[in-house]
A and B are shown apart, each in its own frame.
Chain A
Amino acid sequence: MQGLPRIGKVPLVLGGLASTAIMLFVLIYVLTAWWSTPLFGFGASGPDQPIAFPHNVHVQDEGIACEFCHRNVVTGEAATVPAVEQCLICHTTVNGESNVEIAKLLEYAGRDKSGVVVPGATPQPIDWEKVHRIPDHVQFAHEPHLRYFTQQQDVIDMAAAGGISPVEQVCTICHGDVREMTKVKQERSLKMGDCVDCHRDYDAPTDCTTCHY
């Protein structure tokens, strides 16, 4: 270290290392903002949910359709997260005696581990973390997107080849392969460029007031 150039007692090379680190940090920050998905760490694998809900078990293993739980998706603007009551269609039978996550669900529903109602317990809604967030000035409706794409022959063919329903095939366009996710994360940036590219490709309106009003 004697031969290295210094400022006072600090070797100059440390300054170089520090500025490289800062520039790297800024670069990662900018790229993360640009893609609007984290590169690594800080929730790159999606946010932690109050109950570790595995989509793959429900969709892949049990074969439940997307729109069975997200009921509003084919009829309305929001896809909607199911009420706790709806989980109980199965989960009073598939109870929480062997699975700690199902036990958590039953606790939200005001029941004990075996699915029996606890007297005096108040059922609580589950505060799920939002995964796909779009800004407030964007008005997005699921229904027209599903209506359009489920009528496209290539989507129907792809769904038949993959052995899934057309609706499920359409969901994967924006949400990725949720059927294989144990923890849901955002797959696409869902920034305005992402939307507009697709709207141009499919000759959908690109007037500002299609989404912004």
Chain B
Amino acid sequence: MAQRKPHKWGMIVDIDKCTGCQACVVACQAENNVQLNTEDRFHERRPIEWIHIQRYWEVPEEYRSRPEDAPFQDIKARFLPVLCQHCENAPCEPVCPVYATYHNDQGLNVQVYNRCVGTRYCANNCPYQVRFFNYWEPVWPDRMRNQLNPDVTVRSRGIMEKCSFCIQRLRRGERQVEAAEGGELNDRALAEGNFAPACVQACPTGSLIFGDYTDPDGQLSQYVAVDEDTNEKVLKDDRAYQLLKNIGTEPNVIYLKKIDPRRTGEGGHG
């Protein structure tokens, strides 16, 4: 068996389509055996959400200095789904003393649960706050014991966890595509076989797009190109940006800006 194809998985988050419905959050909890976040967990500031929606209120520019005076119809709710950015230059990786987190050959920042000793250095060094520590043994009510996904390890107390880009689905996709076609998993097979991450599958507006940066015909190719010499991503879309780009983490998750109808003069719901 030859080595696996060096995929480079990535995601596009189109903020313009996001309605902040949190279907991705629910899908992720169910797919990845994420613990149930009770009210207490939120009060402790220790909920585990591999993807979460950040909500912002945006006021018109002229009211920036005094937002309380802004007319309510001009205040806009803005939603930002934040998940592990799978940084190329990830700050969480060099601080792990046991190599429990590293970058694999498919462009994923992976967390190896059985190596993790729970120092929490990675979470403290993550600028996106998307790494979560299991302070307690996760418990599910008895009636939910058959709900757990058998393809995903249940993380015990003292283990760091984070978004894995639903690697269990990618592995299953690889197996099934290789078995059926003898080929490699590509964007087309990914879409047809529903091997994309749970959040992407659940998103009702299609604001999340998952694919392979190295696939020239893939879904991501219209937004991002990979420079062959420097191996860096070149953003092709005017709206594309990366979270905290200035700190140099080179995230593999690319965001597309919200189109503001007032600024562009295009029609909209206002």
Mark A residues whose CB is within 8 Å of B.
77, 135-137, 139, 141, 143-144, 147-148, 202-205, 207-210, 212-213
Contact = CB atoms under 8 A, between A and B. Distances in A.
Given A139-B171, A207-B104, A212 B113 contact: yes
Interface residues of B, number: 24
Contacts of A208: 102, 104, 110, 112, 115
B179 A212 contact: no
Contacts of A207: 104-105
B114 A213 contact: no
22 contacts: A77-B151, A135-B114, A136-B153, A136-B154, A137-B153, A143-B175, A143-B179, A144-B178, A144-B179, A148-B1, A202-B1, A203-B1, A203-B2, A203-B3, A207-B104, A207-B105, A208-B112, A209-B112, A212-B113, A213-B152, A213-B167, A213-B168
Contacts of A212: 112-114, 153
Given A144-B178, A209-B110, A139 B168 contact: yes
Nearest to A199: B1
B1 A204 contact: yes
Interface of B: 1-4, 102, 104-105, 108, 110, 112-115, 151-154, 164, 167-168, 171, 175, 178-179
Tell me if B's interface is mostly helix, strand, loop or mixed: loop
Nearest to A192: B114
A212 B1 CA distance: 20
Given A139-B171, A203-B2, A213-B110, 19 more contacts: A136-B154, A137-B114, A139-B168, A141-B175, A143-B179, A144-B178, A144-B179, A147-B179, A203-B3, A205-B3, A207-B105, A208-B110, A208-B115, A209-B110, A209-B112, A210-B171, A212-B114, A213-B152, A213-B171
Tell me if A's interface is mostly helix, strand, loop or mixed: loop
B92 to A, nearest CB: 15
Contacts of A139: 151, 153, 168, 171
Contacts, number: 53
A205 B175 CA distance: 13
B182 to A, nearest CB: 10
A146 B108 CA distance: 27
Nearest to A141: B175
A204 B108 CA distance: 19
A147 B182 CA distance: 11
A93 B116 CA distance: 54
Nearest to B105: A207
B7 to A, nearest CB: 12
Contact of A137 (B4, B110, B113, B175): B113
Contacts of A143: 175, 179
Q: Which of A77, A144, A203, A209 has the most CB of B within 10 A?
A: A209
B116 to A, nearest CB: 10
Nearest to B114: A137
